Amino acid sequence: MALTTRLSAVAAVAMCTAAQADVIAGWTFQNAAFVSSTTGSSTFTYPQTGTDTAFTGYHADARTKWYNNVGNGSSSAVNSDYWTIGDYYQASLATTGYNGISLKFDMTRSASGPQNFKVDISTNGGTSWSTIGTVAVIQNSAAPAGAGAWTSSAYNAAYTTTISGITSAADQATLLIRWISTSASSSTGGTARIDNVQIQGTLVPAPGAAALVGLAGLIARRRRG
């Protein structure tokens, strides 16, 4: 194989690899150590392994229970009650070396749960926040007017929200994502549930790979000249 052909082939592989979206972090909440709380607490931390990601929650009311309930096509999701405006779920992760960031997640609520959320991100440890999307949460219901209740055996795409092109989230040592309630529950027992959180991005080619692509292009142009 000629040098030009070899370089072109390697460069093509490098470009394809760089263009492929990777899962940077995600939570399906299947850790066996995750159990429903028996006493109220303002704060929640999902039990997990590793130190570079975290999923937490905060409610102003210290009576909040953090439940392990059926997910959207899985056996487990995070659910909580006592929602007031400003309460939130939060994910923390790093996107170092990635661009083209997108976020996907499933949310549902009980009949008296909060109906509206906004999704905010922070890249400076929570000093400032920007809104990247809003969610009108569908009630978890098997009624004809509903989208069908969550079950452990079947995933329902009606509850999935995807937010793409989050430019400001690219290449961050710490990225915080918050799902913030912008409406309160109509009763203290109203709940909101989240599942299948996934953050994706495209790995930026290493300098050596980028140089290889450029070299292959230069040789190709010379051969055509």
What are the pLDDT digits (tens) for 128-143? 999 999 999 999 987 7
Count of domains in the chain?
Answer: 1
Amino acid found at 149: A
pTM equals 0.83
Q: Is residue 222 assigned to a domain?
A: no
What's the CATH number where 124 sits? 2.60.120.260
Query: Could you tell me if 28 and 42 are in contact, meaning their C-beta atoms sit under 8 angstroms apart?
Result: no
Q: Is residue 11 assigned to a domain?
A: no
Query: Could you tell me if 107 and 89 are in contact, meaning their C-beta atoms sit under 8 angstroms apart?
Result: no
- pLDDT of 1 > 70? The answer is no
Region 177-192: what's the mean pLDDT? 97
Amino acid found at 192: A
- Going by pLDDT thresholds of 50, 70 and 90, the confidence category of residue 48 is confident
Pairing mode of beta strands 192-203, 77-80: antiparallel
Please report which residue ranges of the chain form alpha helices under DSSP H: 3-19, 207-224
Tokens of 123: 């890249």
Region 166-187: what's the mean pLDDT? 97
Q: Which domain holds residue 81?
A: 21-205
What are the pLDDT digits (tens) for 4-43? 444 344 344 344 444 578 999 999 999 999 999 999 999 9
Q: Is residue 219 assigned to a domain?
A: no
Given this model, what pLDDT does residue 147 score? 82
Q: Is residue 2 assigned to a domain?
A: no
Three-state secondary structure call for residue 84? coil
Given this model, what pLDDT does residue 217 score? 52
Q: Is residue 30 assigned to a domain?
A: yes
Which residues are CB-contacts of 32 (< 8 A; sequence separation ≥ 6)?
Answer: none
Q: Is residue 104 assigned to a domain?
A: yes
Q: Is residue 185 assigned to a domain?
A: yes
Three-state secondary structure call for residue 105? strand
